[in-house]
A and B are shown apart, each in its own frame.
Chain A
Amino acid sequence: MNTHADRRFFLRTWAAGAAAAALGWLQPVLALAAGWNKSAFQAGNIVGAIEFAGVAEALPSEDIVIKAPEIAENGAQVPVEILSNIPGTDQILIFSDKNVQPYVGLFEFKNGAEAFISTRIKMGDTSMLRAVVRANGKYYVRMREVKVTIGGCGT
């Protein structure tokens, strides 16, 4: 069902037929991002997750913009957009405080990518959404509550 919803979204958002991306199996395989922070991803509460992710000391900043619905009816697909206006930002980390495993993901920007990401996440319950950014080696954080009508972690 989600698949169909996504396809509809896709067709609505972009002109039909424009979304062709040829599979490139014949080309050399690119190096994937090294590593996966297992202890942070498997942490079962927000205190552990931010500790293992190394961002527990992040300073509050209003220069981080979080765009997310105030009320998310479907916790399985919560659109989240994060923009950092802090110069030198090269990483954005997302946490959903009340998820069974709160660390959602790390996005690292290089070679001309702007400090911006738009994606969709699962939220198990009404919770604070926490965006942490790294700029010139320092961490900053902004939070925003999202009310979730139907949780999306068992789906």
Chain B
Amino acid sequence: MTRPIRMRVRLDGDLAEIRALIDHPMETGLRKDSKTGELVPLHFIQNLTVSLNGKPVLETQWGQAIARNPYIQLRVRGARVDDEVSIEWLDNQGERGRASAKVPPPG
């Protein structure tokens, strides 16, 4: 199953502001399905990495308390137009996601 990642990069000088919204349920394992009344199994992203031109700039370990459809915003120095920003994640069920985008010109 492919879960989309929406990414937006803004360049100001050499500072890239990266924002991303990752489609993921981030189930805590405590929520009951409203139809069946059964608990929805734990399902959450454990590791997420953001890279600039293949070099990691942010590496994370997450618990189940990151909100559903995780949002992150970060700032990276040394970025240039056309650099590649990529995001990759892995969840507790072994599912993975990946997306990439180019740094656009400022303005």
Contact = CB atoms under 8 A, between A and B. Distances in A.
B59 A153 contact: no
B76 A112 contact: yes
A111 B74 CA distance: 13
Given A3-B69, A96-B65, A116-B74, A21 B101 contact: yes
B65 A104 contact: yes
A41 B63 contact: yes
Interface in B4-26: 4-8, 15, 19-21, 23, 26
A47 to B, nearest CB: 16
Given A21-B7, A120-B71, A104 B61 contact: no
Given A27-B100, A107-B58, A112 B72 contact: no
Contact of B58 (A20, A22, A110): A110
A154 interface: yes
B81 interface: no
Contacts of A20: 6, 101
Interface of B: 2, 4-8, 15, 19-21, 23, 26, 28, 30-32, 46-52, 54-79, 86-90, 96, 98-101
Given A33-B48, A153-B28, 17 more contacts: A13-B19, A21-B7, A21-B99, A23-B2, A29-B88, A32-B49, A36-B46, A41-B63, A96-B65, A105-B62, A106-B60, A111-B56, A112-B57, A114-B74, A114-B77, A116-B74, A119-B66
